[in-house]
Amino acid sequence: MGLFIFIKMKLAYLITRSDEIGGAQKHVLFLAKHFHDNGDEVIVIAGGDGLFLDEIRSNGIKYVSIRTLKKEISIINDLKSIIKIYRLLNKFKPDILSSHSVKAGCIARILSIFINSYTLFTAHGWSHIHASKNLKKIIYLNIERLLSIFSHKTITVCDSDLSFAIRKNLAPMENIICIPNGMPDIFVKKKYTKNFLKNNILNIVSITRLDSPKDPLTLVKSIKILEKFNVNLNIIGEGEYRKEIKKYILENSLNNKVNLLGRLNDVSHVLSESDLFVLSSFSEGLPRSIIEALSASLPAIASNVGGIKELIKTNINGFIIDQQNPKLFAEAIKAYIIKPQLLYIHGKESREIYENKYTLNKMIKNYSDFYNKVTLKN
């Protein structure tokens, strides 16, 4: 009979923003909740206060808000944040310090010099590097290379980011691993028996921040191109671009075709009533919104950035489109209007892709195995 060893871990999660619940925040929330419920000691440290920390609180997880920790660079605020976080970690003494987002990743890896914790940095797309050019890009690349020296492991959320990190020498190969994102199976008990094109309308949904590096306006412009067809677009999300998008909708008489639904805690009902998922972005890691759409058996159309091509196979479960090209997005959407049976064929493939690799259970198991290995080793 084998000997079962349970090691209680002390885990600290550090992330920059708490005023939104984007992909990185969901990632931390899923992990923190699982290990907290599993009996491990977990603390979440985040900048400011807001929706994300509300979710952490509601799950009974220990948290600390660092008011000076912000996305923008500020020498004074950043130094204050480093000191506060160091004191906190020195007191908590986590076995594993897991950092998410650019600013939090920088701070965690700097502090790893002074604390005795296994330090991880999870890269959710390196959008700041992809979006920069010339000297600025060189600086960001070299900062990442330098900081990787102080991190025990860099985790990417998709194979595309893993290849990028190796190609750009962002960390030693032996210190980079890929653990793909996963999402809960909210449609696990639902049979795929949808009536497509209800009332002869193609219902499209997009779950996205109305903010950079997302590009929701390109999607809205594609609906303008398709204004003669019966299409309806629901956009779930909030951000700085809302006024600009709203203005475009009004100026182009798209009120009856494009709906800005804002933030929704539960998107399952909208996904259930949708025929197609579309996401236009400048930069991505492995979008959780697409994974959620795949779990709902929806075909997907998205920009050819980050790890999206790992989720969407052109003419298999959707289409990959060059970014910032409303005409190509419109053509891909039109393919489902002309041949609606593709919605069923591609939707079934989406569900298979999700079940094979991108369930939350698979992601949690990968992290559990990795954490246990690290803890036993140390």
177 & 33 share domain: yes
Judgement on whether residues 168 and 267 belong to the same structural domain of the protein:
no
**Secondary structure of 216-278 in the HEC alphabet?**
HHHHHHHHHHCCCCCEEEEEECCCCCHHHHHHHHHHCCCCCCEEEEECCCCCHHHHHCCCEEE
Based on the domain organization, do 51 and 142 belong to the same domain?
A: yes
Sign of CA dihedral 110, 111, 117, 122: negative
Residue-number span of the structural domain to which 94 is assigned: 10-182+360-377
- Residues 241 and 245: their CA atoms lie apart, in Å, by 6
Token pair for 111:
């502090």
Query: 4 in a domain, yes or no?
Result: no
Give pLDDT < 50 ranges for the chain.
1-4, 189-191
pLDDT value at residue 57: 95
Q: Are residues 286 and 366 in the same domain?
A: no
pLDDT per residue over 74-91, tens digit each? 999 999 999 999 999 999
127 with 226, same domain: the answer is no
- Decide: residue 143, CB within 10 A, 0-12 exposed, 13-18 middle, 19+ buried: middle
Who contacts 23 (Cβ-Cβ below 8 Å, separation ≥6)? Answer: 124, 181, 285, 287, 288, 289
104-134 pLDDT, tens digit per residue, is 999 999 999 999 999 999 999 888 898 888 9
**Whole-angstrom Cα distance, residue 151 to residue 113?**
9
Quote the pLDDT of residue 195.
58
φ, ψ of residue 20 to 5 degrees: the values are -145, 165
Per the structure, how many domains does the chain have? Answer: 2
CA-angle at 363, arms to 71 and 298, nearest 5°: 90
Contact between 128 and 42 under an 8 Å Cβ cutoff? The reply is no
In a shared domain, residues 232 and 353:
yes
pLDDT (tens digit per residue) in 250-267:
999 999 999 999 999 889
333 in the same domain as 253: yes
